[in-house]
Structure 1
Amino acid sequence: MSNEDITLTAADAEVTVQPGNGGRIGGLKVDGVELLRQGKKFGCFPMVPWCGRTRDGRFLNGATPHQLPLNSPPHAIHGTARDAAWHTARRSENEAVITYDLVDPWPYTGRVTQVVALTADTLTLTMSVETYDDSFPAQIGWHPWFNRNLGGGTEDVRVDFAAAWQEERGDDHLPTGRRIDPKPGPWDDCFGMPDGVDVTLTWPGRLELNVASREHWVVVYDEQEAAVCVEPQTGPPNGLNTLPRLVTPIDPLEATTTWTWRRL
């Protein structure tokens, strides 16, 4: 199949999947209102095979060192898949399955599969990384850009969550290794939620949307005027080094996030 845009529909919800633009969700409309920031680099992109920043672009697989391109100097950020064309494996009215084969500059072979499933009031994204060759550390995450304001003279979005801890952020934007009590925003920070990611965005008088995942980590970024980001992921920034999750021929890495909304 081609990598042209895919439109999924369910009742009054519509999702645009963009395999050719990094496997991202290009848009999510509820009752015709766009919830995601528009633009080639926005929407909601997959972070794989790592999330956030990897320190100096370096990581170890056992004793083997690797160097990644520094696409956010002095670090490597957000993986490689968001810059690549994915391929459509199958699609229906309300579900799409897209795939991406890991290639250079990632030093290992593997396949990433993303399933996008839409209902009248939920969007479920499931991603897996599998290999039939050498094992390697990896991370999975999503980086949505939610519109701060939905227009029509309404109030800006509120972001509510109760984290168990916040990863202390160093001057290099990476966790120092210390866990601290959560601080008030603005944020470009990683939080720990050992019972699973649970963050609610409320556009007063319009819509409430919950971002949930069984994963224990979420980055919240709200330092830009146009959008806020709530990023569930399988480990903290620099996790290839500090909390590696190993992909092996018998044990793929898989994660899911579900967005559920209700009208106010």
Structure 2
Amino acid sequence: MLNKSQTQDLSALLPGQSTEQGATRRTALKAALGVGYAAAALPVMAQTAIKTPTDGLLAGEVMIDVNGYAMPAYRAAPAGKTGLPVVLVLSEIFGVHEYIADTARRFARAGYLAIAPELFVRQGDAQSYGEMAKLIAEVISKVPDAQVLADLDATVKWAAANGGDTSKLGVTGFCWGGRQTWLYAAHNPAVKAGVAWYGRLVGQTSELNPKHPVDVAAKLHGPVLGLYGAADTGIPLDTVDKMKSALSVGSAAGKASTFVVYPDAPHAFHADYRPSFRKEAAEDGWKQALAWFKQHGVA
């Protein structure tokens, strides 16, 4: 978890509402709030190197009902089309900022209904934090995995009612979202395939995090492609080896899972708004992800 950006203020949106104008106002607000470490270390508001246009897309924020709680999410899809394959896009610890929204639009350009839910807004507002350690301690560390899995189940239900074909369900995520990608592929039997970008594989268990990817490797419902960097100092390659071993004795989906490790890539090599971005690895990983989904029926 080595990157920093800010979540979107969606409090003014009503259930089902989608607006690009609201996103523009929020962008201006968040730019004004960029302070401290966040402003000094990274481009304001995670402005991406890749700019995916919205023409021909239905794109913007929506609200998803989770047992009475209105969870904000960013949705992107080809306009006027239904029966679309669905990809859940799981963010880094900083929520659904412009980079994550743009990634959803990239999937929409490839023919998907892509949905990026805000999975830890109950615990706090990431945009109010300028220090990584405080954000992790005060927000992220308090997010129960069970809450995330339930929120994702609700997102899938929303997708089915809003133009998605959830018999073609994929999940992908980055860093924090990469770890959740593995967990969700073991949780939901409807998942056809997952793509995990440099998500942590092992760790100490707790009441909120009772299992890690290595613990559920034998129970995957859909095969997962792991995209990792050999120069990632936070995810040692020996943990990738442990995951490979766990996958090899599990379900058919686990045995079908695989890794691509980019020799010189650091953590967050796909994050095109950060110095960690590695264009060659990011572009190859994207091609691998699309091919993986197509190979396993998410297309």
- After TM superposition, the score normalised by the length of structure 1 is 0.31
- After TM superposition, the score normalised by the length of structure 2 is 0.29
Normalized per residue, which structure has more helix? 2
Q: Which structure has more RCO (C-alpha within 8 Å, separation ≥ 6)?
A: 1
